[in-house]
Amino acid sequence: MEKVIINDVGPRDGLQNESTTVTPHDRVALINALIAAGVPAVEVASFVSPHAVPTMVGASEVVASLDLDGGAFSSLVPNYKGYELAKASGIRSVAVVLSATETMNIKNIHMGLDETIAVCSDIVQQAQKDGLEARAYLSVALGCPYEGPVAEEHIESLGHKMFDAGASEVIVADTIGAANPSQVKSLFNRMCTVFGSERLSAHFHDTRALALANAWQALECGVRKFDASIGGLGGCPFAPGAAGNLATEDLATMLEQAGFETGVNVDKLLEAVELVRGLVGHDVGGRTLAWLIGRRSAD
C-alpha cells in the first residue's frame, strides 16, 4: 500500500482568516486532536506581525506547548524577523512563502518579487546552517487574484531558485482555488519531471469545488504529500476570493477509499472537526462530512 502524507494547515492557514481569534491554548488543543487522529504533519503557526495577522498572535506560546517529538510540526516565516522568532521557539521546520507574481508579494509581505526571492533564499540558507528543515511555498502558482494566469515556465524557474537555495521541499500552491484538473496535470507533470515528485507537495483551495479533483491529478502525477485543512477552513487575508482549503477529512477519505495509506483515522478526524466548529463559532466541514457522520452513526 502506497503512503501519502497529509500536512494539516488548519491551525495556521485555516485559522488565520477567521474573524474570531482562537487562543494559543485552544490552537494547541486542535493540533493535539489532529495528532490523536493520526495526522502525521501539522503546520502549527505563522511567525508574522500580529498587526498584519492578529489571529496568529502567540505563535511562540503554541510551539512551547507542543511535544515536538510527537509529530512533524512546521511554521510559516514571512521574513527574517519571523525566522529568528521561529528558531528561538524551538520549531524544527520552517516554510518561506514566495508568491509567483510581483503584486501578490507586495500585497502579502510588502516586497517585490526579486526582493522576496532574495529574502526567501537567504532564510533557507540560514535555516540549513542552523540545522532546521526549510521548505518553500510557491504561492498563487496556478492563478493570481491581481495578475491572473501564471506561466508554467515561471513556476519552474522559481522552483529552481528555491531548490538551489537549499529548500528540502517546494509546495506548489493554488492559493485562490483558481486551478482546474487539466491545468494541474500539466503543471505537475512538468514540475515532477524536472524536480522529482518526492521533492514536491501540493496545496489546493476549494473555491470552485475542484480541490479534490485537482489533488487527484497531482496524485496521478506522482505527488505523495498534500496540504489540507481540518473542516475545510482557510483563506488568505491578502488574496481576494480565496475560499477554504481542501478539507482534511475529504482528502483522507478519498485516499483511504483509493487504497493509499495515510495513517489517519477518519472517524477521529470528526472529533477535530467538532472541536473546530466550537472554536470558530460557525459550521465547518468538507464535502464528505454528512456521509462520514452517517457512517459513524451506522457503526
The answer to whether 204 and 177 have CB atoms below 8 angstroms apart is yes
Task: Evaluate the CA torsion angle 145, 149, 155, 161 in order and state its sign.
Answer: negative
Please confirm, yes or no, whether 236 is among the known catalytic residues.
yes
Alpha helix locations (H) across 17-66? 24-36, 59-64
Give residue 75's identity as a one-letter amino acid code.
Answer: S
CA angle 296, 298, 299 (to 5 degrees): 65
C-alpha to C-alpha distance for 152 and 138, rounded to whole angstroms: 12
Strands 200-204 and 169-174: parallel
Strand 72-76 relative to strand 169-174, pairing: unpaired
Residues known to be catalytic: 236
